Structure formats: structure tokens, C-alpha cells
């Protein structure tokens, strides 16, 4: 690779267009490409996105390392298990919902999930390392799924009604 071109790996998939991902925690660059796209076109695509890749690699480098099982993770789990239930109960009541069950676990790609059938919210353990306002955003987001399952206009209307600054919080959370 040239000095301006970051190292990258190519994965061939049955997709229609090129896709570029910068993966945490080390900033690896992965290009997903359809089988018919030539290597030269992939290299040109990566070269064109070099500035974007560098920006994202810098952002990833500033993040704390992922939690590993051990005393720190367990302490954070207890902290989140104590902080989340009162917030969930308060927001569920405000939104006219029954208080769902809460699970805390290490998650690699999401801040939270909501199982609308079992009425269970799962929170990412990493939230214990973030500002409590960001935990509140994730909780309201997951509770909103109990009102509207999909990310559509109705869902965003629910978010706007209950947490008007949710977009700012989401941006802060995803930047951290």
C-alpha cells in the first residue's frame, strides 16, 4: 500500500455496492465488495475515502479500551444495575408503560436492545462508563420501542415528545 492509502482487507459478498467499515477497537479497515468489482476499483474507493478513514481511526483511538471480564467489569455492572432501574421505572411511568425487566451485558455493537415480546430491555455494560444523561437517552430509546417497534416517523415522534434533546444525546453517545 502507498503512504496515503491505509491498509485494508477485502471481503467479497453478494451485495450491490462497495461498503467501508472502520472497526473498533484497533481501527481496522474492511471493505465489503461485490464479486465483480475489480481490485483497482476497490483501491481507488479506499484512496478516495482516506480522509474519512483517518478521521474515524483517530476517533476510535481516543476511546477507552473495551471492557474485559474481571473486577472492573463487575464493579461497573453493579453500578449500572443500581443506576438503571430507577430511571427505567421513572420513564416507563412517564410514558404510560409497565416497567420492563432489565438485563446488563457486554455488547459489541449496540448501546441497548428491547425485546418487545418479553418486555425486556438489555443495556450495554459500557454505558456505566458514560455520562448518566446518555444512559437516560438509551433507556428512553428502548422504552419507545415498546410503543413503536420500528425506527420510523412515529418512533421519532415518541422520542421528540418525551426527550426533546435526544438527537444531541445520541450524537454525544456515538462520539464517545
Residue 153 lies in a domain: yes
The cell numbers describing 105, all together, are 451485558
The cell numbers describing 43, all together, are 483501491
Beta strands 120-124 and 112-115, pairing class: antiparallel
Share of the chain above pLDDT 70, in %: 98
pLDDT value, residue 5: 87
Q: Are residues 46 and 83 in the same domain?
A: no
Residue 22 lies in a domain: yes
What lies within 8 Å, CB to CB, of 175 at 6+ separation is 59
Q: Are residues 79 and 33 in the same domain?
A: no
Dist. CA 85–CA 104, nearest whole Å: 11
Q: Does 1 have pLDDT greater than 50?
A: no
Rg of the chain on CA atoms, in Å: 20
Q: Does 120 have pLDDT greater than 80?
A: yes
Q: Are residues 82 and 53 in the same domain?
A: no
Q: How many domains does the chain have?
A: 2
Grade residue 108 by pLDDT with cuts at 50, 70 and 90: confident
For 22-78, how does the pLDDT look when each residue is reduced to its tens digit (9 = 90+)? 988 789 999 999 999 999 999 999 999 999 999 999 888 888 777 888 999 999 999
Q: Are residues 81 and 134 in the same domain?
A: yes
Q: Are residues 85 and 121 in the same domain?
A: yes
Q: Specify the length of the chain in residues.
A: 176
Residue 4 lies in a domain: no
| Strand ranges (E), the chain | 9-12, 19-23, 28-33, 101-105, 112-115, 120-124
Q: Are residues 106 and 163 in the same domain?
A: yes
Q: Using CB atoms within 10 A of its CB, is residue 79 exposed (0-12), middle (13-18) or buried (19+)?
A: middle
Which phi and psi angles does 123 have, rounded to 5°? -110, 140
Residue 2 lies in a domain: no
The cell numbers describing 68, all together, are 474485559
The CATH number for 121's domain is: 3.30.2010.10
Q: Using CB atoms within 10 A of its CB, is residue 85 exposed (0-12), middle (13-18) or buried (19+)?
A: middle
Q: Are residues 50 and 83 in the same domain?
A: no
pLDDT value, residue 3: 53
CA torsion sign for 147, 152, 157, 163 is: positive
Between helix 166-175 and helix 132-144 the angle, nearest 10°, is 120
Residue 162 lies in a domain: yes
Q: Are residues 33 and 55 in the same domain?
A: yes
Grade residue 83 by pLDDT with cuts at 50, 70 and 90: very high
Dist. CA 76–CA 173, nearest whole Å: 17
Residue 155 lies in a domain: yes
Residue 84 lies in a domain: yes
Segments forming the whole domain that contains residue 43: 9-61
Q: Are residues 126 and 170 in the same domain?
A: yes
Q: Are residues 169 and 126 in the same domain?
A: yes
Residue 103 lies in a domain: yes
pLDDT value, residue 32: 95
Amino acid at each position: 500500500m502507498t503512504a496515503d492509502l491505509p491498509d485494508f482487507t477485502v471481503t467479497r459478498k453478494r451485495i450491490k455496492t462497495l461498503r467501508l467499515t472502520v472497526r473498533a477497537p484497533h481501527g481496522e479497515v474492511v471493505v465489503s465488495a461485490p464479486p465483480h468489482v475489480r481490485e483497482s476499483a476497490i483501491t481507488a474507493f479506499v484512496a478516495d475515502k482516506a480522509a474519512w478513514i483517518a478521521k474515524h481511526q483517530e476517533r476510535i483511538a481516543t476511546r477507552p479500551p473495551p471492557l474485559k471480564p474481571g473486577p472492573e467489569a463487575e464493579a461497573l455492572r453493579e453500578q449500572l444495575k443500581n443506576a438503571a432501574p430507577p430511571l427505567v421505572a421513572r420513564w416507563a411511568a412517564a410514558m404510560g408503560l409497565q416497567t420492563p425487566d432489565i438485563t446488563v451485558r457486554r455488547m459489541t455493537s449496540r448501546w441497548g436492545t428491547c425485546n418487545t415480546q418479553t418486555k425486556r430491555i438489555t443495556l450495554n455494560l459500557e454505558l456505566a462508563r458514560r455520562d448518566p444523561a446518555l444512559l437516560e437517552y438509551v433507556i428512553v430509546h428502548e422504552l419507545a420501542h415498546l410503543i413503536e417497534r420500528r425506527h420510523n416517523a412515529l418512533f421519532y415522534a415518541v422520542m421528540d415528545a418525551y426527550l426533546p434533546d435526544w438527537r444531541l444525546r445520541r450524537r454525544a453517545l456515538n462520539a464517545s
